């Protein structure tokens, strides 16, 4: 029989005076790999944080059995590694966190470790056997060719692979992965089962939050969270119970009030790019890229992790100073002809995984949404009643109005992303850029969001750029595709 490593009796989990999970009775055995499944906001992340020791039980008891097999209340952290939704990278002088635009400014981005240097800072506890080393970890997570790339310049998917690699270098007995497939391209997702099997074969027990269709082959156990309760079952039992939710009726949303101020200004050219070339040092990111987008067109921008999608979008959104060295027209004006970054941003609604990663979370959700009027990372001026009411309307439309007064950091990941989506849409932009907008959302939220985007496209002449690694996430209104491939070395 497998040795028990964690036992929870009558556990309650919560934060900020909110109970998320109630009366949990749950155990984890060595080698008993388990998927934690539930809708967005059900408590999956809270459970993993509690297991990692980042949250304390509000009631009940947890025992952890590592090392000599005895309960180890104080020293269990050395045996557990947790990979959350956001990294916590700092600059070379260890004085501050990174900021969003830093990755596009060559002088500032130099103040960042490379992948290999960062991994070299990870030290495994002396009490663990060091199976995972830098070489075999980088090989497993396909990071070898990124060894000299600075952390700030990694794509979202590359960052996720690096976070898993850093966790493995601690050689944990228990590895906790929070939605690890988010942001990974189709090739890496296809290889994920093999990655999990190699980690399991090395003696690490794995718990990961997932949706019902993402459970790895190596997993035999499921912890289903629903309505604040946790039910443990086998994967076979879960498959018999798991039924996809009924599709949402494809009806128009009531957007008249929200889209009443939508811009009627016309443009000959929303985006005009000719022979774009972007490089950092000797590394070519984009080479000979041309792209013409007319008003009212809806595009999908596709490509593998690291193919340059985020860099291309940064040229459009005004975040990359290399735009001035290239032939780019935005909203009928050539870059460098006197327009400001704010002139571009006021016409553009934008969300990306990188923006989510660096967005400050100490503000309330309502403040985060309202900040979209001013294109600021948080609200730095008094709220205005009419704008606040419009922000609340968007939150109601997205089903997140209950979080309005809560801090952004205290709500579920999927709801955080929906707040930033409301922030992108609130000013009725001419151009809407949605870079992996559905990360962290459950199946129901994804369908709801796709229908909303299609309704906006039907009722306005909005121009859309949509980035995703999931073909079934692309709205029906998208009819044109630009696919990027990494430049030839």
CA dist 229 and 478 (Å) reads 39
Helix axes 413-425, 385-397, angle to 10 degrees: 130
pLDDT of residue 267: 94
Residue 195: C-alpha distances to residues 146, 180, 282 (Å): 18, 12, 31
pLDDT of residue 221: 95
Show the tokens assigned to 161: 């692979």
Architecture of the domain made up of 4-241: 3-Layer(aba) Sandwich (3.40)
CA dist 148 and 117 (Å) reads 8
pLDDT of residue 128: 64
The DSSP code for 404 is T
CB 29 within 8 A of CB 233: no
The residues near 5 (Cβ < 8 Å, ≥ 6 apart) are: 28, 29, 30, 64, 65, 66, 173, 174, 205
The reply to whether domains 4-241 and 271-484 share a CATH topology is: yes
Torsion of CA 243, 85, 322, 278, to 10 degrees: -60
pLDDT of residue 73: 56
pLDDT of residue 298: 97
Buried b (16+ CB within 10 A) or exposed e, 48-69: bbbbbeebebbebebbbbbeee
CA dist 221 and 30 (Å) reads 12
Superfamily of domain 271-484: P-loop containing nucleotide triphosphate hydrolases (3.40.50.300)
The DSSP code for 460 is S
CA dist 138 and 146 (Å) reads 9
Domain boundaries, the chain: 4-241, 271-484
pLDDT of residue 388: 92
Q: Which of 94, 149, 141, 93 is nearest to 116 (CA)?
A: 149
How is 201-233 classified by DSSP, letter by letter?
HTT-EEEEEE-TT---TT--EEEEEETTEEEEE
pLDDT of residue 328: 93
Show the tokens assigned to 281: 């040092």
CB 159 within 8 A of CB 87: yes
Confidence (pTM): 0.76
**Ordered strands of the 4-15 beta sheet:** 18-29, 4-15, 59-64
CA dist 82 and 444 (Å) reads 27
Show the tokens assigned to 444: 């129901």
Q: Which of 49, 137, 37 is nearest to 85 (CA)?
A: 49
CA dist 99 and 355 (Å) reads 9
pLDDT tens digits, the chain, 489 residues: what are they? 458 899 999 999 987 778 899 999 999 999 999 999 998 888 999 999 999 999 889 999 999 888 665 555 567 888 999 998 877 776 555 545 554 444 555 555 556 789 999 999 998 776 667 899 999 999 999 999 999 988 888 887 888 899 999 999 999 999 999 989 887 778 888 889 999 999 999 999 999 998 877 889 899 999 999 999 999 999 989 988 765 554 444 555 667 677 766 667 899 999 999 999 998 777 888 999 999 999 999 999 999 888 889 889 989 988 888 888 899 999 999 987 877 888 888 899 999 877 887 788 889 999 999 999 998 888 888 888 888 999 999 999 888 999 999 999 888 878 888 899 899 988 889 999 999 888 878 888 888 888 889 988 988 899 999 999 989 899 999 999 999 987 665
Q: Which residues lie across from 327 on neighbouring strands?
A: 274
Residue 141 main-chain phi, psi, to 5 deg: -95, 10
328's enclosing H/E stretch is: strand 327-330
CB 75 within 8 A of CB 262: no
pLDDT of residue 103: 52
- SS3 of residue 133 by DSSP: coil
CB 163 within 8 A of CB 118: no
CA dist 169 and 151 (Å) reads 17
CB 140 within 8 A of CB 192: no
CA dist 248 and 308 (Å) reads 34
CA dist 263 and 471 (Å) reads 30
CA dist 437 and 466 (Å) reads 8
């Amino acid at each position: 029989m497998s040795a028990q490593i964690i036992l929870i009796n009558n556990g309650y989990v919560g934060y900020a005076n909110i109970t998320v999970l109630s009366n949990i009775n749950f155990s984890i055995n060595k080698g008993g790999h388990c998927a934690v499944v539930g809708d967005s906001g059900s408590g999956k992340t809270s459970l993993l944080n509690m297991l990692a020791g980042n949250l304390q039980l509000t009631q009940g008891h947890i025992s952890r059995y590592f090392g000599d097999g005895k309960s180890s209340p104080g020293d269990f952290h050395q045996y557990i590694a947790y990979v959350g939704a956001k990294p916590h990278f700092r600059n070379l002088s260890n004085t501050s966190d990174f900021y969003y635009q830093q990755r596009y400014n060559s002088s500032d981005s130099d103040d960042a470790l490379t992948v290999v240097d960062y991994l070299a800072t990870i030290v495994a506890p002396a009490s663990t056997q060091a199976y995972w080393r830098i070489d075999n970890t980088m090989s497993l997570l396909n990071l070898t060719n990124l060894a000299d790339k600075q952390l700030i310049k990694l794509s979202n998917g590359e960052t996720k692979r690096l976070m898993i690699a850093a966790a493995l270098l601690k050689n944990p007995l228990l590895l906790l992965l929070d939605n690890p497939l988010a942001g990974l391209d189709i090739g890496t997702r296809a290889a994920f089962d093999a990655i999990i099997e190699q980690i399991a074969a090395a003696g690490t027990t794995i718990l990961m939050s997932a949706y019902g269709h993402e459970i790895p082959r190596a997993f035999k156990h499921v912890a289903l969270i629903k309505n604040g309760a946790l039910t443990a079952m086998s994967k076979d039992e879960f498959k018999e119970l798991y039924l996809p939710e009924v599709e949402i009726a494809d009806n128009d949303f009531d957007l008249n009030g929200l889209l009443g101020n939508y811009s009627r200004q016309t443009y000959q050219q929303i985006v005009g790019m000719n022979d774009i070339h972007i490089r950092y040092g000797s590394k070519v990111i984009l080479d000979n890229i041309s792209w013409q987008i007319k008003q009212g067109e809806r595009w999908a921008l596709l490509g593998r992790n690291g193919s340059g999608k985020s860099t291309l979008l940064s040229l459009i959104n005004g975040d990359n100073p290399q735009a001035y060295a290239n032939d780019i027209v935005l909203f009928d004006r050539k870059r460098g002809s006197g327009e400001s970054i704010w002139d571009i941003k006021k016409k553009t609604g934008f969300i990306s995984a990188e923006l989510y990663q660096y967005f400050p979370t100490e503000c309330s959700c309502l403040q985060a949404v309202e900040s979209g009027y001013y294109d600021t990372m948080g609200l730095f001026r008094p709220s205005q009643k009419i704008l606040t009411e419009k922000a609340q309307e968007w939150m109601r439309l997205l089903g997140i109005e209950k979080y309005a007064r809560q801090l952004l950091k205290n709500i579920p990941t999927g709801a955080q992303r929906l707040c930033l989506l409301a922030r992108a849409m609130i000013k009725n932009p001419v151009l809407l850029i949605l870079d992996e907008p559905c990360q962290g959302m459950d199946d129901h939220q994804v369908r709801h969001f796709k229908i909303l985007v299609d309704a906006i496209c039907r009722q306005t002449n909005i121009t859309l750029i949509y980035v995703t690694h999931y073909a079934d996430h692309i709205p029906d209104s998208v009819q044109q595709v630009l696919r990027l491939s990494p430049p030839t070395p």
